[in-house]
Amino acid sequence: MSKLTISVNGKDHAVQASPDTPLLYVLRNELHLHGPRFGCGLLQCGACTVHLGDKAIRSCATPVSEAKGKPVTTLEGLGTIEKPHPVQKAFIDHQAAQCGYCTNGMIMASTAFLKQNASPSEDEIKKAMTPWLCRCGTHFRIVAAIKAAAKAMA
Amino acid sequence: MTDTLPEGRRLSRRAFLSGTGAMIVAIGAPRLLDPKSAFGALSDSQIGPALVDPLQLDSWIAIRGDGTVTVFAGKVELGTGVMTTTIQLVADELDVALAKVNVVEGDTWQSPDQGFTAGSQSNKTQYALTGGVRQAAAEARLALLNMASKQLGAPVSQLTVSNGVVSVQGSSSTVSYAQLIGDKKFNLKQTGKAVPKTFEQYKIVGTSVARVDIPAKATGAFTYTQDVTVPGLVHARVVRPPTLDSQLVSIDGWPGRKQPAGVIKVVYKDNYVAVVAEQEWQAIKAAEALKVTWKVVPLPSFDDFYDDLQNLTPTTNRVLIDTKDVDTALAKAPKTVTATYRYPIQMHGSMGASASTASVEGNTATVWSSTQGVYQLRGAIATALGLPAQNVHVIYVEGSGCYGLNGADNVALDAAVISQMVGKPVRVQYMRADEHGWENFGQPYVISLKGGLDASGKVSAWDYTAWTASRGGRPGPPANLASGVLLGFPENPLAASPPATPSQAPNFVDGSNSGPSYIIPSQRLVTHSGVHSFMAGPLRSPSRIQNTFANESFIDELAYAAGADPVAFRLQHLTDQRLSDVITLAAKMANWQPGPAAAKVGKGRYLTGRGIAGMLYEGNNGYNAAVFEVTVDRVTGKVAVDRVWSAQDCGPALNPDGMRAQAEGCLMQTISRSLIEEVKWDPTGISSLDWSSYPVIRFNGMPKTFDFQIIDRKDQPVWGAGEVLITNGPAAIANAIFDATGVRLRQLPFTPARVKAALKG
Ligand code: FES
Ligand code: FES
């Protein structure tokens, strides 16, 4: 158990955790940020996605020590119900969730992706999002929401 | 006299969802941890209310002083939009704004017992004329109008309501619901006399109201079961044996005899083992490190599985229908067709591994769970804890989409049992392998069909035999779940075979789509179900998807044998106009070109074909027909679903966009189940333990287009929309592959290897 300072959603937090603790458990249990979710712990589903700097990473298998000195952003840090990020707003407008368990990963992944490709084609979106799993079958709406978000942010 | 509503019944589920109001559970808000202090007002002597009496209006609806309306619903939101359609219903029935309606769902101390939230029954139940929320809301409206009539001195017939305010026609006198009864009980028995509005009268029902839960889900403000924490919480992980029937020999401790940091206790009973630790990561590492010796009872052979399934003894045998002339009719038929279809074990595979938090203190327990049946789970937990059901409070909190009996009930049983063993509130989170390997899988089937065609090319005889197996099921008994088996609770014995009471009805329906939808004079349907090594339970369209795969493939095979067009052939054998209508519409949407299937099998590498399937779900719960277009890669054997057209009739469309969302989800899942999904094992255990050993469909498997049309029938009862399209997928895809290649696939999933082998002959 050691003391670490990590910067999450623009604030510094001192946390107590062994350095090998995956970032996900620190975010969820120490900082009570429930946007990032546990799906598999195996880098297979993307439910745990957060941003480390500009990159979408899987926090279930990223040791908290790797977050030292790099800003972490979670779903909560993107926007709120009152002031959603354009990607969050597009997901709400397109009703792009059923159970919503994958939604964190979908929004965090597509937000990072749109920074690299601001006006992707539908095929590019599908290709980029294939590593993120949705078991409810919300894919059509997620693709539509990402397209709409790209437009809104253009 | 009306009593004041106790505090507990005023909690708002929606405020809870959006994080803006009373939180049911949160760090620092341990209100429910001490059930007596939170709900003591409900009962003098007992821990919980003796019974949430469904006959009492107050069990369903409460009007608060601020004019908001709280509905207590026994059917819960599983991610399908049911909370929103329930809010639409109440807002419309009571003439209040949508934003004023809150739902408290699935709580054994607050909501009426409406059975399981399952089988696409929620809207059907809540929107029925009696017995659900629609009736209760109509009763509340009538009671409120009677009160207003007294207060305003005008007959009910002259009253109108808008936004929760009652006015007298042609006068300026008004009174609001809140003024009439705010924060007080109705204290009324439901009369059964209130007449709900009709679907033509509804203004909000029937429109695409946006889901109330999505804003919170898209911003991280939503609370899932996985997020429930209470003060003093500790974390546990289960340690499973290699196979369900393996026996615990010894718990050998830690490598180097060094107990890992944070470990509080290793708990065990019979073949059940779990590790409890202060922090979650500590529990994970400790559970991984713990050395346990098991006597392994191996699983049966994977390769011989379908043969074994047909030779299980004993079995429960059911004769569903026997017109007693099938053998003669088949012997007389100028043409006969026989085929055997195989449907594998598949899993729910929830995106989020299940979790539950429980706090057992002395003789009371509080359990937060994403179960589909709080009351039924309460029974299982009460048995496992040795407590009266009354003392167990089960509170539903939405989890990951479940599609049936996923790990939610099992993990709630774990949390409760471990909390009792360790004497602290416990959160159990399954790891991916615990969810994948230990849920109640969907049932496998072998279905053998023989059919006869008469001289005119019509089906004269239909002979169906099915073999299936299961073990366990929904709670009640703890041993219906894997943890209950490991804890040593007794398993249910196999049901006795009922005496054959053969029906003569040619259009027999049994709720499981065992029989074909078609009018066939001579029929025999027999099922054999046994017990096998795998826990089983309902998985979206249980038995219906397996039966429909066989029946809707076989009708295509008969059409082909008759040289007939698959659409026309179906319509010739139907008298159910609504089923004919969805089939006709789906074919029209697809611009279906009539003619026998596989008439133009190409020579190139990529072959394209179309197939159709249609059915009335469960015999009384929604019509769907779907045309699937596939491309088969002859070289790799890979099948891609390119385009889909589907027509659906579930009575009145309550929320057309919500219905479409369900159809989209069904479509992705049915492609996944048809092309990819199969649980695998070897003698030492289940090998489908993660998303690479049990893959499911992803974005790269999406069809290019999906056209969906609803036939909206406002004069009909509400039927479910959650399980219809999924049911048609396997047969429609098999039929499309046949059309493309001339080769019939009768075993799911249609993997590249299987397709390639079939194409080679
Ligand atoms: S939880 Fe991290 S990838 Fe699945
Ligand atoms: S919405 Fe449920 S997993 Fe994607």
Any residues with CB less than 8 A from the CB of B118 and at least 6 apart, and which? B372, B373, B404, B538
In this complex, the residue of A39, A107, A139 whose CB is nearest that of residue B668 is A139
Please give the backbone phi and psi of residue B156, each rounded to the nearest 5 degrees, phi first.
Answer: -55, -35
Q: Looking at the CA of A43, which ligand is closest?
A: 1
The 3-class secondary structure across B533-548, one letter per residue, is CCCECCECCCCHHHHH
Pocket of ligand 1 contains residue A38 by CB under 6 Å? yes
Helix axes A139-153, B656-675, angle to 10 degrees: 120
* Token representation of residue A22: 């995956």
Assess contact for B104 and B12: CB atoms under 8 A: yes
In chain A, which residues have their Cβ closer than 8 Å to the Cβ of B399?
99, 101
Angstrom distance (rounded) from CA A79 to CA B688:
37
**SS3 labels along B13-65:** HHHHHHCCCCCCCECCECHHHCHHHHHHHHCCCCCCCCCCCCCEHHHCEEECC
* Residue of B355, B290, B712, B406 whose CA lies nearest to A135: B406
Q: Which ligand is nearest to the CA of B349?
A: 2
C-beta atoms surrounding B335 within 10 Å = 14
Predicted local distance difference test score (pLDDT) of residue B455: 97
Output the pLDDT for position B41.
33
Instruction: Characterize the bridge pairing of strands B681-682 and B639-649.
Output: unpaired
Judging contacts by C-beta atoms under 8 Å, the chain A residues touching residue B233 are none
- In the reported structure, the alpha carbon of residue B734 is separated from the centroid of ligand 1 by a whole-number distance in angstroms of 33
Sequence-ordered alpha helix ranges (H) in B230-373: 280-289, 305-309, 326-332
Residue closest by Cα to atom 3 of ligand 1: A43
**Per-residue DSSP letter, A27:** I
Pairs of residues, one from chain A and one from chain B, whose beta carbons lie less than 8 Å apart: 185
Q: Which chain B positions have a beta carbon within 8 Å of A42's beta carbon?
A: 432, 690-691
Q: How far is CA B562 from CA B400, B462, B519, B736, in A?
A: 47, 15, 16, 18
**Interface pTM, i.e. ipTM:** 0.99
Residue B150: CB partners within 8 Å, gap ≥ 6? none
Query: Ligand 2 pocket: which of B350, B351, B698 to mutate (most atoms <8 Å of CB)?
Result: B351
- Rounded to whole angstroms, what are the CA distances from B657 to B207, B209, B709, B710? 8, 8, 11, 10
Q: Is residue B381 within 8 Å of B412, Cβ to Cβ?
A: yes
Q: Is the CB of residue B347 less than 8 Å from the CB of residue B535?
A: no
> In angstroms, what is the span from residue A49 Cα to ligand 1's centroid?
7
Mutate to test the interface with B, among A25, A26, A32, A40 (most CBs of B within 10 A): A40
Q: Report residues of chain B scoring pLDDT below 50.
A: 1-2, 6-48, 50
Listed residue (B394, B392, B441, B418) closest to B487, CA to CA: B418
Q: Is A92 in the pocket of ligand 1 (CB under 6 A)?
A: no
pLDDT at B503 (0 to 100): 62
Which fold does the domain B308-345+443-760 belong to in CATH?
A: Aldehyde Oxidoreductase; domain 4 (3.30.365)
Q: How far is A69 from chain B (nearest CA, A)?
A: 22
Q: What is the mean pLDDT of chain A?
A: 97
**How far apart are the CA of A81 and the nearest CA of chain B, in angstroms?**
6
Residue among A26, A37, A44 whose CB has most ligand 1 atoms within 8 A, to mutate: A44
Tell me if A50 CB under 6 Å of ligand 1.
no
**Sequence letter at residue B438:** W
- Please work out whether the CB of residue A97 comes within 6 Å of at least one atom of ligand 2: yes
Residue with tokens 């026996």: B247
Same fold? B53-101+117-210, B308-345+443-760: yes
Contacts of B398 in chain A (CB under 8 A): 99
Percent of chain A at pLDDT above 90? 97
DSSP sequence for A29-73: IIS---SS--S-SSSSS-TTEEEETTEEEEGGGSBGGGGTTS-EE
Question: A114: pLDDT confidence band, cut at 50, 70 and 90?
Answer: very high
Which residues in chain A have Cβ-Cβ distances shorter than 8 Å to B697? Answer: 137
Pairing of strands B165-168, B174-176: antiparallel
Q: Could you say which architecture CATH assigns to the domain B53-101+117-210?
A: 2-Layer Sandwich (3.30)
Taking only residues 206 to 235 of chain B, the set having a beta carbon closer than 8 angstroms to any beta carbon of chain A reads 210-211, 213-224, 226-227, 229
Max CA distance (Å), chain A: 47
**Are the beta carbons of A18 and B692 separated by less than 8 Å?**
no
Q: Given this model, what pLDDT does residue B4 score?
A: 52
Taking only residues 381 to 420 of chain B, the set having a beta carbon closer than 8 angstroms to any beta carbon of chain A reads 398-401, 403
Cβ proximity of B413 and B380 under 8 Å = yes
Residue A129 identity (one-letter amino acid): M
Where do the domains of chain A lie, and which CATH numbers do they carry?
2-78 (3.10.20.30), 86-153 (1.10.150.120)
Q: How many CB atoms lie within 10 A of CB B55?
A: 12
Interval between CA B560 and ligand 2 midpoint (Å) = 39
**By the 8 A CB rule, do B528 and B316 touch?**
yes
CB of A101 within 6 A of ligand 1: the answer is no
The ligand 1 atom nearest the CA atom of A46: 3
- The CB of A118 under 6 Å from ligand 2? The reply is no
Cβ of residue A106 lying under 6 Å from some atom of ligand 2 = no
Report domain B227-296+348-437's class.
alpha beta
Q: Which atom number of ligand 1 is nearest to the Cα of residue A58?
A: 2
DSSP B651: S
Cβ atoms of B744 and B738 closer than 8 Å: yes
**Contact in structure between B631 and B739 (CB atoms under 8 Å):** no
3 state SS of B445: strand
B658 Cα to the center of ligand 1, angstroms: 28
Whether residues A38 and B702 touch (CB distance < 8 A) is answered with no
Q: Which residues of A touch B19 (CB under 8 A)?
A: 81
Distance (Å, whole) CA B80 – CA B169:
40
Most A CBs within 10 Å, among B84, B85, B117, B217, to test the A interface: B217
Choose among B18, B214, B432: nearest Cβ to A41. Answer: B432
SS percent in chain B: helix, strand, coil, step 5: 30, 25, 45
Best CA proximity match to B698, nearest among A46, A147, A98 = A46
Collapse the DSSP code of B438 into the 3-class scheme (helix H, G, I; strand E, B; otherwise coil) and give the result. Answer: helix
Q: Which residue of A has its CA nearest to B282?
A: A21
- pTM metric for this prediction: 0.94
Q: Which residues of B touch A136 (CB under 8 A)?
A: 79, 351, 401, 665, 668
Report pLDDT for B119: 80
Is the shortest distance between the CB of A135 and ligand 1 below 6 Å? no
CB B628 within 8 A of CB B671: no
Q: Is B288 helix (H, G, I), strand (E, B) or coil?
A: helix
Mention every residue, 6+ apart, whose C-beta is less than 8 A from residue B599: none
Residues of chain B contacting residue A99, judged by C-beta atoms under 8 Å apart: 78-79, 351-352, 398-401
Q: Which of B81, B227, B281 lies nearest to residue A34, judging by beta carbons?
A: B227
Nearest to A137 among B218, B352, B666 (CB): B666
Q: Do A45 and B691 touch (CB under 8 A)?
A: yes
- State how far the Cα of B271 lies from the Cα of B456, in Å rounded to an integer: 62
Question: Using an 8 Å Cβ cutoff, are A115 and A54 in contact?
Answer: yes
Closest of B590, B622, B624, B619 to residue B725, by C-alpha: B624
Q: Whose CA is nearest to atom 4 of ligand 2?
A: A134
Cβ separation A95–B349 shorter than 8 A: no
**A2-8/B61-63 β-pairing:** unpaired
Q: Cα–Cα distance between A64 and A90 in angstroms, integer?
A: 31
Nearest-atom index, ligand 1, CA of A40:
4
Q: Mean per-residue pLDDT for A133-144?
A: 98
* Alpha-carbon dihedral sign for residues B423, B425, B430, B435: positive
Collect all residues with Cβ–Cβ distance below 8 Å to B287 and sequence separation of at least 6. Answer: B237, B238, B239, B274, B275
pLDDT at res. B192: 85
Q: What is the mean pLDDT of residues A67-95?
A: 97
User: Which chain B residue lies closest to A93 (C-alpha atoms)?
Assistant: B210
Residues of A in contact with B211 (CB under 8 A): 95, 97
Q: How many residues does chain A have?
A: 154
Give me the residue spans of the domains in chain B: 53-101+117-210, 227-296+348-437, 308-345+443-760
Alpha helices in B573-692 (DSSP H): 577-589, 656-675
8 Å CB contact of A76 and B350 = no
Question: What local confidence, expressed as pLDDT, does residue B505 receive?
Answer: 58
Please judge whether A133 and B691 are an interchain contact, meaning their C-beta atoms are less than 8 angstroms apart.
yes
CA dist B59 to B7, B56, B99, B164, B379, Å?
A: 14, 5, 21, 20, 21
| DSSP calls for B141-152 | HHHHHHHHHHHH
Cβ-based burial of B210 (10 A; exposed 0-12, middle 13-18, buried ≥19): middle
